[in-house]
Chain A
Amino acid sequence: MEITVRSLWTMIHGMGFGALYLLACSGALVELYRFTISPAPSASTPGQERFLKVYLIAMVILAWAAVLTGTYLIYPWYRAAPPPGTVDLSMFPQHLLMSNSGTIGWHSLGMEWKEHVAWFAPISITMVAFVFIRYGRDLSNHRQLRAAVLCFAAASFLAAGIAGLFGAMINKYAPVQGGHTIQLSPRSN
Chain B
Amino acid sequence: MNASHPAASPNVPAITNGSGAAAILSAGIGAFALAVLAFAGDKSATVKSILVFYKPTGALSGVTTTAILIWLLAWGILELRWRAKTVALGTLNIVALTMLALSFLLTFPPIADRL
Contact = CB atoms under 8 A, between A and B. Distances in A.
Q: Do A and B bind each other?
A: yes
Contacts of A33: none
Chain A binding surface SS class: helix
Interface of B: 6-7, 10-15, 17, 19-21, 23-24, 26-27, 30-31, 34-35, 38, 54, 56-58, 60-61, 63-64, 67-68, 71, 89-90, 93, 96-97, 100, 103-104, 107-110
9 contacts: A41-B6, A72-B54, A80-B56, A119-B34, A120-B100, A127-B27, A144-B93, A147-B93, A151-B97
B100 A152 contact: yes
Interface in A155-172: 155, 158-159
A142 B86 CA distance: 11
Interface string A139-159: 011101101110110010011
Contacts of B6: 41, 136-138, 141
A140 B17 CA distance: 12
B93 A135 contact: no
A91 B73 CA distance: 40
B32 to A, nearest CB: 10
Contact of A116 (B10, B63, B90, B100): B63
Contacts of A123: 27, 30-31, 34, 68, 71
A111 B105 CA distance: 15
Chain A to chain B: the 6 pairs with minimum beta-carbon distance, closest first: A76-B56, A41-B7, A127-B27, A144-B89, A138-B6, A116-B107
Contact of A109 (B15, B23, B89, B110): B110
B30 A145 contact: no
A75 B60 contact: yes
A115 B15 contact: no
B109 A148 contact: no
Contact of A120 (B89, B93, B96, B103): B103
B107 A117 contact: yes
Contact of B60 (A71, A138, A147, A151): A71
Contacts of A76: 56-57
A155 B61 CA distance: 23
Contacts of B13: 138, 141-142
Contacts of B67: 119
A108 interface: yes
A124 B27 contact: yes
A79 B34 CA distance: 20
B19 A134 contact: yes
B35 A116 contact: yes
A131 B89 CA distance: 14
A170 to B, nearest CB: 14
